[in-house]
Amino acid sequence: GAVVSQHPSWVICKSGTSVKIECRSLDFQATTMFWYRQFPKQSLMLMATSNEGSKATYEQGVEKDKFLINHASLTLSTLTVTSAHPEDSSFYICSARVLDPPSGDTQYFGPGTRLTVL
Amino acid sequence: QKEVEQDPGPLSVPEGAIVSLNCTYSNSAFQYFMWYRQYSRKGPELLMYTYSSGNKEDGRFTAQVDKSSKYISLFIRDSQPSDSATYLCAMSVNQGAQKLVFGQGTRLTINP
């Protein structure tokens, strides 16, 4: 199946600093990637949709100036959390859209990045 | 009311039991239904993908969709300790895999 990687898997940073998270499709090209955040024991909440070569589409309530998304190539999307604060601590997960006949048109997820802001 | 409702559990069953996981939804426009398995501190892994109503079987897993009742199920036969995880249902309106709406997830433990 399609493999999506994320880096780093875990990051701790000081309040006020910026953190970049990378999402890569390893064995396929992904024109569309998605960024989610997940709080403990809660479900995934879509933050934004990232399309290669164009601006990301953010969900209502997500600050686009705080969560910068760049999808510069067909295999890489990045999420930068700017001026991070403790309330930004969460599990960030990316996914990539895959057109796979047996499975249809769906999303494959990366392993997630745990961000802790001190 | 949430668009997708899923009992968070926790659900604990003995090894070998048949497990039934369920979600209900309110948006009749949903046409594509998925089940994901998520191990602790990992990303979700796609288990089953179905379109519209009906059943789909893959090994020990069977997914059922009843659009008339707005109800979907995932059955796990001969459950194993390695099946212990959180199971998330997800659904979407369009085939473009856009805007997946997830249930809260059910935490499942299979006891040896």
Nearest-CA distance from A43 to chain B in Å?
5
Each residue of A51-78: pLDDT tens digit? Answer: 888 889 999 999 999 999 998 888 999 9
Given A1, A4, A43, which is nearest B103 (Cβ)? A43
Each residue of B24-57: pLDDT tens digit? Answer: 999 999 999 999 999 988 899 989 988 888 899 9
Given B43, B96, B104, which is nearest A109 (Cβ)? B43
Please report the pLDDT score of residue A56 as a whole number.
92
CB atoms closer than 10 angstroms to residue B62:
17
C-alpha distance across the termini of chain A, in Å? 37
Please report the pLDDT score of residue B97 as a whole number.
56
Please report the pLDDT score of residue A107 as a whole number.
83
Chain B residues whose CB is inside 8 A of the A112 CB are 41-43
Query: H or E stretch including A57?
Result: strand A57-58
Query: In whole angstroms, what is the distance from residue A76 CA to residue B85 CA?
Result: 29
**Phi, psi at A15, each rounded to 5°:** -60, 135
The reply to whether residue B49 touches residue A106, judged by beta carbons under 8 angstroms, is: yes
Higher-pLDDT residue of A40 and A14 is A14
* Residue A79, CA distances (Å) to A24, A75, B6, B110 in order: 12, 14, 29, 36
Please report the pLDDT score of residue A54 as a whole number.
84
The reply to whether residue A107 touches residue B95, judged by beta carbons under 8 angstroms, is: no
Higher-pLDDT residue of A7 and A100 is A7
Lowest mean pLDDT among A27-36, A95-104, B80-89: A95-104
Identify the closest residue of chain B to A51 by CA–CA distance: B98
Instruction: Dig out the tokens for B60 from the structure.
Output: 């020990």
**Contacts with B94 (C-beta within 8 Å, 6 or more apart), sequence order:** B31, B32
Given B8, B34, B88, which is nearest A106 (Cβ)? B34
Angle at B103 between CA A7 and CA B108, to 5 degrees: 80
Answer whether residue A99 shows pLDDT above 60. yes
